[in-house]
Amino acid sequence: MEIVELMKNIDVWLNDFLLNLGVWAPILASILIVVEGTLAFLPLFVFVTVNVLVLGSIVGGILSWICTVIGSFLAFTLFRKGFSKLFDKHINKGKVKKFMKLIDKLKFTQLVLIISIPFAPSFFINVGAGLSHVNARKYFYSLLVGKVLTVMYCGILGTSLKEALTNPSAIIKIFILVGSAYLFSFIVSKKFNLDERFE
């Protein structure tokens, strides 16, 4: 509980700090959204909320969506191109190898489903995908679809992680958004044969 309270206090402090920056708030928040893709401890929820409060739901939401897609794909590319050789020995052993093979076989709809879950640790998702053999274009398009729902939840419908876990209506919102992401990605995937194109 102490860790949860500490995280909540940090989120509140960050929110107040950014909002006191005036016109600079969305600029710094957007930079931090990009950085969040490679640093697990940064609270995406706070930065998206700041952008939405300062710039409005549409502009703030679109800016946050673009930044989180850029940040996530940068992290994916960094581990795909820069660190994959360093982790090769660990990846190709036992249970880790089996887990990486499961990631390799994920379909477009499954990737979107994982990415769109609010509060999912995007850093670990990006790293796992980057170290796997998932097609880069497939992952990028999965981010484009999945992050729309993540940003919508964080900035428009959102609550903090603690509130979401204790608020039935927030849980319902999560299921609706994740279900919508899966349905939309399923339709798009079938219409354009994405899984076959990305093989």
Which tens digits make up the pLDDT trace of 138-168? 999 999 999 988 888 776 665 555 566 667 7
Helices 136-152 & 168-192 angle (0-180, nearest 10): 150
Spell out the residues 6+ positions from residue 100 whose beta carbon is closer than 8 angstroms to its own.
91, 128, 131, 132, 133
Task: Identify which of 12, 41, 17 has the alpha carbon closest to the alpha carbon of residue 29.
Answer: 17
Q: How confident is the model at residue 63 (pLDDT cuts 50, 70, 90)?
A: very high
H helices of 20-153, where?
24-36, 44-55, 57-77, 84-91, 94-104, 108-116, 122-131, 136-152
> pLDDT at position 95, please?
65
The mean per-residue pLDDT over the stretch 26-35 comes to 90
119-128, 166-175, 179-188: least confident range = 166-175
Q: Give one DSSP letter per residue of 112-142, joined into a string.
A: HHHHHSTT--HHHHHHHHHHTT--HHHHHHH
pTM to 2 decimals? 0.84
Q: What percent of the chain has pLDDT over 90?
A: 16
Task: Identify which of 119, 31, 139 has the alpha carbon closest to the alpha carbon of residue 79.
Answer: 139
The per-residue pLDDT of the chain, averaged, comes to 80
Q: Which residue has the tokens 């995937």?
A: 189
Q: Which residue has the tokens 């016109």?
A: 23
Handedness of CA 71, 73, 77, 83 (dihedral sign): positive
CA distances from 23 to 19, 26, 43, 50, 138 (A): 9, 7, 20, 11, 36
Q: How confident is the model at residue 71 (pLDDT cuts 50, 70, 90)?
A: very high
> pLDDT at position 72, please?
94
Please give the residue that has the higher pLDDT: either 196 or 57: 57
The mean per-residue pLDDT over the stretch 60-88 comes to 87
The mean per-residue pLDDT over the stretch 64-86 comes to 88
Residues 93-142: tens digit of each pLDDT? 666 677 777 788 888 998 998 898 877 778 888 988 988 889 999 999 99
